[in-house]
Structure formats: C-alpha cells, structure tokens
Amino acid sequence: MSHESQKGFHLTIIALVILILGVVGLVGYKVISNQPATSSSIISGSGSVESKAVKAGKSLSANKCVGTGDATFTSLPMKPEDFSILIPYGLVVGGHVTPIDHQYFAPKDHNSARDSYPVYAMADATIVDIQPRANDRGTEYRFVFAHSCTFLYYYDLVTSLSGKVKQAYDKNNREINLPIKAGEQVGAIGGQTLDFAVWRTNGTLKGFIVPSHYDGEGWKIYTTNPFPYYTPELRAIVEARNPRVAEPVEGKIDYDIDGKLVGNWFVRASGGYIGGQKQEYWKTHLSIAPDLYDPSHFTISLGDYGGQAEQFEDLDNAPDPATVGVDAGLVKYDLTSWNYLTSTGANWNRDSVAKGLTAKSSGQGVGCLLAQLTSTRILKAEPFPGKSCSMITGFADSVKFYER
C-alpha cells in the first residue's frame, strides 16, 4: 500500500471514529443507571424461561413493558433514500474495543446538517425511555422501545425529537411512557450514524463466558438478529446494504471460547465491561476476534495502546486466536493497519455498498502485542507501540493481567 493510500485510509478511519464514536464515553458511562436487577442474576435465578424473560424486559424498560411476543418491523428507521449502508453488529473502532452491540444506519451524506433525515418507529411499541446527552454539537437522544417484555429495540444518536414525542418528553422527561405506531416519526438525525439493536429476552448470547461482566449494560447479552423481524420487502433492503456476507450476516459480538485467546478480556478486578463505571471504561478492555467483514482475518483491539484505544490486524494473520490456549505459551502479534478490498480489487471507502470484501494488511508493522494465557480464564498481555516483535523477548513494565 502506498504512502498516499495509507494516508487516505487513516483519514477514513478518523472520520469513521468521529462519525460513530464521538460520544461513546458518555454513552457507556450514562446508560448503566436504573437497572433494578442485573441480567446475570436474572438468568441464574429461579423461575421458568418465560418468567425470567419477562423479568429481564421489566428491568430493561424501567418496569413499563407489558405482555410477551415478537414484533414485526413494518417501517425502516430511515427512508431507503436517506441511508447508504447498514453496518452490522460487531464493529470495533476507537473506544468501542469489544465488538459493538448495535448496528448502524449510515447517512447518505456524512456531511449532512443535524436533523437532515427523519427517524421513524419500526414497529408498534411503547417508548419507555428517552435519555438526553449533551455535547459540543448539541443534544442527542437514546430511545428504548418496548413492543412487549420479551421484545425491545433501541436507537441512539437521534439529533432531535419530533411531534408528540417531543411534547411527551418535554412534559415527562425520563418518565415517558408513550405508545407509538410503526412509521410514526419520532425524531431526526444528520451528520452521523443511527444506532439500532433488538433485544429479545427469551434467550441470551452463549459466547460470553462470564455474563456478569456485562451487567453494567444489561441489554447486551440479549442482543438479537433483527433480520427475521422485518417484512420480506424491508429485509431485502437492509440485507442488500449490509457489506457482510459471512454467517451470521447480521454480525456477531460474542466470540469467547473458554481456554482460548479469542474473545473479550477485561483487566483483572476492574469491574468487567463498565470498568468500575469510569468514563473511559474501555481502557480496561482487550478483544481479539474475527474481522467484521473478512472473518478469515482477526482484529486485535486494545483499550490502552500507549494511552489510546486502537485496532490492528497481524502482519501474518497468525496464530489464530481461536487455537491459542495455555499450552501455546507466549505468542507474539506484529500489529499493522489494514484496509478492505472490493471484489474488483479497489480499496473500499467504508461508506458504499460492497459485497465480498477482503481484508488487506498495509504490510508495515506499527507495534507488537505479547499475549499468554496463564490459565483458562487469565490472560497476560502487553503492547509495545512502535516496536517489531523481533525486538521483544518478553514482558516488561506495562504488562497487565486480564480475566473473564
């Protein structure tokens, strides 16, 4: 990859981080409140599967949900002409060190003004929470919609409220409990992606070895494939704009294999995912997981790489973290940046519809990661920014122990 190509790639990544991640610290820090029961205590407690599912829904809806049953999405959250691609579950970027638990509807124009595009309810539901978040661009809003106690969905980064939603919010603020119909406008967005996910409480993700590590974001273990709940016509639209072709096409966030390096790790005794509720909670995170668009490669995601959250791939794409266990001893990864190539061999701009993407290393090392499983659920790891692994013989002063 030429110097100019690398420069362009890095500018693309910077833009993506700003677009997607501009408020991640405040998002992660603020939405952990008002959880009456932890998800791990619910799933490990007594009761039938249905009663646990309802209890989880009550917890996620501030006790406002009613009944059980799945929704059907008869409306998209944005008009088809207003969004470019659907980014599936599992992206890692900036402070999103572990695979992301929501999808993104990317705006047609990333430079659009705030409130350029209307945002709609996707299914009949009750808006049970709207959480504001102020930043230097204005106020943005996080919505929770409860179709039932077993089926909820949410949006984030909405830039303004509309109509009866604004009226109800201005009157009731966080105590909102507003029925809404599919296709009704709830707000607007512009200049950034729209977060979206489905939470189905009838079951939990099996690839998180220690569910209690995610209690600070209790919805995470209920993250569900949204595609089956669209009408066939709408499903065809979103799947066509999803660059991922590997199964599961909706993306994946839970990659832990007990006794193997692959998956999510948290600095020992740091408090799991939310890191003791610190604002920069992601600094205690480390993740090594299959690449979002080309799972034949893997992404190394570090919450504290010389003080910054960074993502890399390995120059040799080996050893496969899914095969690295305690018996592997010390392993080394030469860190590098990467890009994606389309089926024609062109660099992908990460903003246009493309299928069959392949990951391509820049070919230039930028650092080294040492990793060693000292026991089934304890990882010893240390990054060395700016150094080749050939220069590193063992751990040094910045080594940390991670757990799960």
The CATH number covering residue 120 comes to: 2.70.70.10
Segment holding 368, helix H or strand E: strand 358-375
Please say whether the beta carbons of 47 and 55 come within 8 A. yes
Pairing assessment for the beta strands 151-158 and 308-314 based on DSSP bridges: unpaired
Q: Do 229 and 288 have their domain in common?
A: no
Domain boundary among 228, 249, 270: 249
8 A C-beta contact, residue 98 and residue 266: no
pLDDT at 56: 98
Q: Which residues of 279-293 are buried (b: 16+ CB within 10 A; e: fewer)?
A: eebbbbbbbbbbbbb
Domain match, 336 and 398 both: yes
- Confirm if 186 and 158 have CB atoms less than 8 A apart: yes
Percentage of the chain exceeding pLDDT 90: 88
Residue at 281 is within a domain:
yes
Go through the chain and tell me how many residues it has. 404
Are residue 310 and residue 402 in the same domain, yes or no?
Answer: yes
pLDDT of residue 20: 54
Q: Give the residue ranges of the chain where pLDDT is below 70.
A: 1-36, 276-277
Does 214 map to a domain?
A: no
Q: What is the pLDDT of residue 31?
A: 44
Q: Are residues 139 and 233 in the same domain?
A: yes
- Per the domain annotation, does 39 fall within a domain? no
Decide if 58 is inside a domain. no
Do the Cβ atoms of 289 and 299 come closer than 8 Å?
yes
Together in a domain, 386 and 340: yes
Same-domain status, 1 and 111: yes
Could you check whether the bond before residue 228 is cis, i.e. omega within 30 degrees of 0? no
Domain contains 54: no
Query: What's this model's pTM, rounded to 2 decimal places?
Result: 0.92
Four-CA torsion 191, 174, 199, 250, nearest 10 degrees: 0
Given 231, 249, 267, which residue is the final one in a domain? 249
- Locate the DSSP E strands across 250-357: 263-267, 285-290, 298-305, 308-314, 331-341
Is residue 212 within 8 Å of residue 38, measured between CB atoms? yes
**pLDDT tens for each residue of 338-360:** 999 999 999 999 999 999 999 99
At 277 the pLDDT is 61
The pLDDT, as a whole number, for residue 36 is 56
Residues 91 and 71 both lie in one domain: yes
Q: What is the pLDDT of residue 12?
A: 47
According to the model, what pLDDT value does residue 3 have? 34
Residue 247 CB burial class (10 angstroms; 0-12, 13-18, ≥19): exposed
pLDDT (0 to 100) of residue 293: 99
The pLDDT tens digits of the residues spanning 218-270 come to 999 999 999 999 999 999 999 999 999 999 999 999 999 999 999 999 999 99
Q: Which amino acid is at 304?
A: D
Please indicate, yes or no, whether residues 327 and 184 belong to a single structural domain of this protein: no
pLDDT at site 22: 45
65 by Cβ neighbours in 10 Å (0-12 / 13-18 / 19+) ranks as buried
In angstroms, the CA 228 to CA 235 distance is 8
Q: Check whether residue 182 and residue 307 sit in a common domain.
A: no
Report yes or no on 169 lying in a domain.
yes
What total of structural domains would you count in the chain? 2
The answer to whether 300 and 336 are in contact (CB under 8 A) is no
Report the pLDDT value the prediction gives residue 16, as an integer from 0 to 100.
52
Residue at 41 is within a domain: no
What does the alpha-carbon distance between residue 402 and residue 288 come to, in Å, rounded to a whole number? 13
What pLDDT is stored for residue 19 in this prediction? 54
Question: Is 283 a domain residue?
Answer: yes
Which domain does 292 fall in, by range?
A: 255-404
In a shared domain, residues 390 and 357: yes
Specify whether 242 is located in the same domain as 363.
no
Residues 242 and 262 in one domain: no
